[in-house]
Structure 1
């Protein structure tokens, strides 16, 4: 049964009690998933069930060169057909920088059909000028650029003022969104402590130096992190590193169709009876 037919079965208020979710191409509340090695059939099934709610697919870390070429091309093509931006993980570009293979990296991702790129320095040290050049070069090639702030080292923290300066310069160079690092575990990095809980006052401090967070994407692989960010910043917050099998689950949290955020969006029953 087609998606449009399925939608027509349900009253509009039930499919989105928040009344706020945009259809694609979304500018608010974008969801980025991390693909750590899904097979073609599993990826096809994911898009059939959840493609409408996915805005960005990141082939995590340096996994992209390890796929058979026909498989990765098919995955990219399937995602693009559903209006999804597809990019390799930032670690792969960092490896290209370390090995002095950046031109070859860009040639290959364009040849495979990638539509986005992540510019990060979570593992290596990168000069500000090189970061600028990578962002500008990627944009000149027609790629959407998503930068990342923060180190992957366990225990690393966010310097809010440095983040603000970095983000402003990234945006000025052409970055679409700036991502706050949390790795795929969501523990002991960035906003989150060793248990994956928010570090006290961290988010409030960031908000005080970057009042407009519309162009910030928060890596939040754990459900409680997603709930906390949606409660703090609203359903339109951009969230990333979402496990592939939890896309619909996250969408229910955004819309108020899960108990964790149920009270944020529900209206009295009689409103539906008028």
Structure 2
């Protein structure tokens, strides 16, 4: 789907186009009805790259197969939440999970260990297994537990091992709250963790879960308009695109300066 034609009287930040590995917008969906998704992707699908059925919603959604078909028709990858795979691992049902996800037509899976304390070695085994089944893998680094200390060099090492195991993307944990993992309890970005992932020495793109506007703005201002952003609300698709281009006050000066310098 081509990006809709925009007015040309302003210089805005240059954006990549789909299919892309930089500048993706990765939406998290808590359970939007099929008709609602259809309306959203018809209007804004050109700006969305990945649509994740959050946590375990795909498992209880009778319309999930139709949603996947709709998303793929708009060149949007469909992905189940990483928590669902962790639940399958906890019950010894990972092969059944992969059978189910593949049968529905999911393009990719998220492999995480932030909800269950899944050992790092077991996580890598899941990545290998997912790749063998033909899934594109988003490997998430970080814990959902606010008591767990996020250590930059540990994140970087886990990221390298995940990529060596076959993951295509790295995901920095932030949850839907934006208060754990990549962020402090009050939602501030941990620049040391960003630096660790950006300097991990892999060719894989990093996707930053950034549910809050101020977090999105920090990442755009520091890493550019084509930073990969995830856990974007389905209601904020167009707002995030405007933010990327310097058309919100949070990024206007930095993105305008960048656009005018080219």
Aligned pairs for 1:222-233 within 5 A: 222-233=212-223
Q: TM-score, normalised by structure 1?
A: 0.87
Tell me, yes or no, if the aligned pair for 1:160 and 1:209 is still in contact at 8 Å. Answer: no
Residue in 1 aligned with 2:70? 78
Question: For the residues of structure 2 that align with 1:133 and 1:233, how far apart are their CA atoms?
Answer: 31
- Provide the aligned C-alpha RMSD in A: 2.5
TM-superposed CA distance for 1:267, in Å, is 6.6
Q: TM-score, normalised by structure 2?
A: 0.91
Residue in 2 aligned with 1:194? 185
* Partner secondary structure for residue 250 of structure 2: helix
Which has the higher Rg, Structure 1 or Structure 2? 1
Aligned pairs for 1:108-123 within 5 A: 108-123=100-115
**Greater per-residue helix proportion:** 1
Residue in 2 aligned with 1:162? 154
Residue in 2 aligned with 1:28? 22
Residue in 2 aligned with 1:17? 12
Residue in 1 aligned with 2:117? 125
TM-superposed CA distance for 1:213, in Å, is 8.2
TM-superposed CA distance for 1:126, in Å, is 2.3
TM-superposed CA distance for 1:186, in Å, is 0.5
Residue in 2 aligned with 1:247? 237
2:253 paired with 1:263: yes
* Partner secondary structure for residue 139 of structure 2: strand
Question: For the residues of structure 2 that align with 1:22 and 1:82, how far apart are their CA atoms?
Answer: 17
Q: Summarize the Cα distance change of 1:142–1:205 in structure 2 as closer, same or farther, 3 Å threshold.
A: closer
Unaligned runs of 5+ in 2: none
2:12 paired with 1:48: no
Residue in 2 aligned with 1:107? 99
TM-superposed CA distance for 1:198, in Å, is 2.6
